[in-house]
Structure 1
Amino acid sequence: MKFPLIGLFCVVLFGSWESKAQRKITSHLVSLNNLGEFNPVTSNWKLASAVRFSPSTDENSFEPGTGIVLDLPVKPDTGHLFTNMKHGDIDLEFDFIIARKSNSGVYLQGRYEVQIYDSWGVETPAFYDCGGIYQRWDENRGSKKGFEGKAPDQNASKAPGAWQHFKIVFRAPRFDKNGRKTANARFVRVVLNGVVIHENVEVTGPTRSAAFDDERTLGPLMFQGDHGPVAIRNIQYTLL
């Protein structure tokens, strides 16, 4: 009778481990029925059911409703959008649409930016083009204040006014028990509109215009709200 009991114990224990693993990799779709999953929310961010950005003019329109979060920055209301959720390692994906000549970005942990930009038709993209990992900035570096950053491997951007899609796999920086960093943050993979544009790119510190100057194990997602109209929908993430 001992062996069946041991077997039962192993089954129960394995089942417990399996259920915990499943809970850890459960995906979450951010509700855009309201803005309750974000904090703080400035007046430039609003909900919509439809958004239209002209690909050739500055004419933009939207229909009030739910399902889309829309940024229409007008000074002095140009705040960024932060999630209540704070993450370490994460798989993230979302749809976005930008206006002509517009500029935004998503900051992993509020610190490391993947650029959102109207890069339609650019033949040789730079770090500031859509999908680029933005450069770092240091006022004490003399004439080369901007450094690092990485251009996307190719330009996979659609025209302004078209919905686009990001998939980002991010690995947070590592720290030892004394708080000393032992590994840099890393973009394991970035996919724009189905095209892999980055693989295994290290970031040695927060990129320019990050919300925080330090590095930590956890931080919120941040969508930049001060450089032009942008809309986001279908925000889904998996905390690893």
Structure 2
Amino acid sequence: MKFSFISLLCVMLFCSLESAAQKKGSSHAISLHALTEFEPTTSNWKLVKSVSFSPTSDQKSFEPGEGILLALPVKPDTGHLFTKMQHSDLELEFDFAVAKQSNSGVYLQGRYEVQIFDSWGVEKPAFYDCGGIYQRWDESRSPKKGFEGNAPTQNACKEPGAWQHFKIKFQAPRFDKNGQKTANAKFIRVELNGVTVQENVDVTGPTRSAAFEDERALGPIMFQGDHGPVAIQNIRYCFL
């Protein structure tokens, strides 16, 4: 009887560990039939079933429905979109389209930004171009308040209005038992339209316009909604 009880405990522990491992490595698609996987937001974010941005002008159109997130910021409704999910190490993929000269971004843990921007035709991309790791900002620094930031290795951006694809592998900052940071956040790899544009880039703290100024082990995905029209679909993530 004693042996059977110990065996049962071992089986339960094994199953529990196996379940946790499956959860850690499994892929999840965020449903865009409603906004239930996101925190409440302002009306600049809506669900549509189709969207069109002109590659040569500011003309745009959309059809109400489901399946695509669309941000159309109009003051005062310029809020950002946050997932209810909080993450540590993560692999994130999604498709996006921007209007001509539009600007947005995706923030891992709400703190570290990969830039979304209409960089079509740019010969020498900077940190603020599409696929760039945005710079940090410190009002007390003089004379240059902006610092760090990492330009994409090349411009892999498509023309405005075209659907594009990001694949981002992110490593969260590490902390000891006293809450002291022992390792910076890191973008292990950023792929834009199948091209690796960032690799093993440390980020020493939250980038400019982050939702949070501190650093923690967990945080939400944030899509920036205050700069210009952007459409997002096919969002998937995997805990690493």
TM-score, scaled to structure 2: 0.94
Identity %: 74
2:88 alignment counterpart: 88
Which amino acid in 2 is paired with 1:228? G
User: What corresponds to 1:53 in structure 2?
Assistant: 53
**C-alpha separation in 2, matches of 1:140 and 1:212:** 18
User: 1: distance between equivalents of 2:12 and 2:40?
Assistant: 43
Structure 1 position 201 matched with structure 2 position 198: no
Q: 1:71-86 residue pairs with structure 2 within 5 A?
A: 71-86=71-86
- Distance apart, 1:20 and its partner CA: 2.9
Give 1:7 deviation, angstroms.
11
Asked if 1:169 is matched to 2:166, the reply is no
Deviation, 1:10, is 8.0
Counterpart in the other structure of 2:231: 231
TM-score between both structures, scaled by the size of structure 1: 0.94
Which SS does the other structure have where 2:143 is aligned? coil
Matches within 5 A, 1:54-133: 54-133=54-133
Q: In 1, distance between residues paired with 2:238 and 2:98?
A: 25
Specify the code of the residue in structure 2 equivalent to 1:150: N
Q: Tell me how many residue pairs correspond in the alignment.
A: 238
Quick one: which amino acid aligns to residue 188 of structure 1? I
Distance 1:159 1:8 in 2: 59
Q: Label 1:211 to 1:16 Cα distance change in 2 as closer, same or farther (>3 A).
A: closer
Unaligned runs of 5+ in 2: 1-5
**Gapped runs of 5+ residues in structure 1?**
1-5
> What SS does the corresponding residue of 1:20 show, helix, strand or coil?
helix
Distance 1:18 1:176 in 2: 26
Q: Distance in 1 between matches of 2:91 and 2:182?
A: 22
CA spacing shift, 1:18–1:76, aligned 2, 3 Å: same
* Cα separation, 1, equivalents of 2:217 and 2:54: 40
